[in-house]
Amino acid sequence: MKAIIISAYGGPEVLTTTELPDPVPVEGEVLIRVKAFGLNHAEVYMRGGAWGEVAAVPGIECAGLVEADPSGHLPPGTKVVAILGGMGRTRNGSYAELVTVPAGNVVAVRSPLPWTDLAAVPEVYATAWSALHGNLALRAGETIVVRGATSSLGQAAVNLARRHGANVIATTRDPAHAVLLKEIGAGDVLIDDGRLAAEVRRRGLEVDALLDVVGNSVLRDSLAAVRPRGRVCQVGFLGGFAPVADFDPIADLPSGVQLSFFGSAFVLGTAAFPLTDVPLDAIYAQVEAGALRAGPTRIFGFDEVVEAHRVMEAGQALGKMVVSLV
């Protein structure tokens, strides 16, 4: 099979197309013929070595057809999406014509959407849905801030939170992106210069929940931006992996404020966080109906992955990008 490998840790140019033996599924795995795969910032971190030693073939999600399932649960030709399960991290991932995935990380889909649209949904929407409903227990009528909202994960969270009936405030560092965020459901947009809590107080806003895609670099400020007994969930590291220096819960964690983390790459598809809990069929139906804007912002060919990573690393994606193999 044709696959893209990380030839050495470094910039986009280290992604190299090569031929590898076709993978063979064992019991508990599903072999998928990949039709399209989504591009994620996690793959930038893996390619660059920020996550330590990872699998040769990157890629944490895909859409395709079942080639083989030793359990017999999914017949050959079944349309599926697959996410995580160690793909790209502890096992070869989806930047390939064929990939084996743990069965718990594979979901059959009935949607008639094209492959590229199917591939644009799974990772970001499963992560956003799990964080909004699992960690934050978001309720209709509440006010939520999505910090880092122009990312593909941030946009998914804005979409889902607004659809759920929440009042959504989105943040971005670039004022030019405010129109996009309002188009996908944000009722208000704040320009984030790292001092979001001060702006929330200046405007007299009461924030019930905050979904933080930026991460450690703004954690203290995010905690200060929610109301007493508010909730903060961290889901990303767009601001970098450096730990929060000298974090002191007594001084830095406001009394009553709940802080949680959702690491989708490590838990989605496990017994504690099954993919069956995520209503992917309903999400796809809402995409088909136009209620959720989840289509790819750019589509690349298999031989354009290096350029796709350059665009992603430069922060120019403005949403979900995918690679098509058809």
Torsion of CA 311, 313, 316, 318, to 10 degrees: 110
- What is the mean pLDDT of each successive set of 10 residues along the chain, which is 326 residues long? 98 98 98 98 93 96 98 97 97 98 97 97 97 98 97 96 98 96 96 97 97 96 98 94 92 96 94 95 96 94 97 91 97
Interatomic CA distance for residues 103 and 149, integer angstroms: 31
CATH assignment of 2-120+295-324, among 3.30.1360.170, 3.90.180.10, 2.40.10.120, 1.10.287.110: 3.90.180.10
Give me the DSSP letters along 1-43: -EEEEESSSSSGGGEEEEE-PPP---TTEEEEEEEEEE--HHH
- Report domain extents, the chain: 2-120+295-324, 124-263
Q: Which residue has the tokens 């492959």?
A: 115
Q: Are 222 and 232 in contact (CB under 8 A)?
A: yes
What pLDDT score was predicted for residue 300?
A: 98
What pLDDT score was predicted for residue 220?
A: 97
Tell me which fold the domain 124-263 belongs to. Answer: Rossmann fold (3.40.50)
Cα–Cα distances (Å) from 101 to 7, 31, 60, in that order, read 22, 7, 10
Interatomic CA distance for residues 152 and 296, integer angstroms: 9
Q: Which two tokens stand for residue 204?
A: 């007299």
Q: Which two tokens stand for residue 118?
A: 């199917």
What pLDDT score was predicted for residue 173?
A: 95
pTM for the full model?
0.95
What pLDDT score was predicted for residue 109?
A: 97
What pLDDT score was predicted for residue 241?
A: 86
Q: Which two tokens stand for residue 236?
A: 């990303």
Q: What are the b/e assignments for 191-225, b being 16+ CB within 10 Å?
A: ebeeebbebbeeeebebbbbbbbbbbbbbbbbbbb
Strand, helix or coil for residue 251: helix
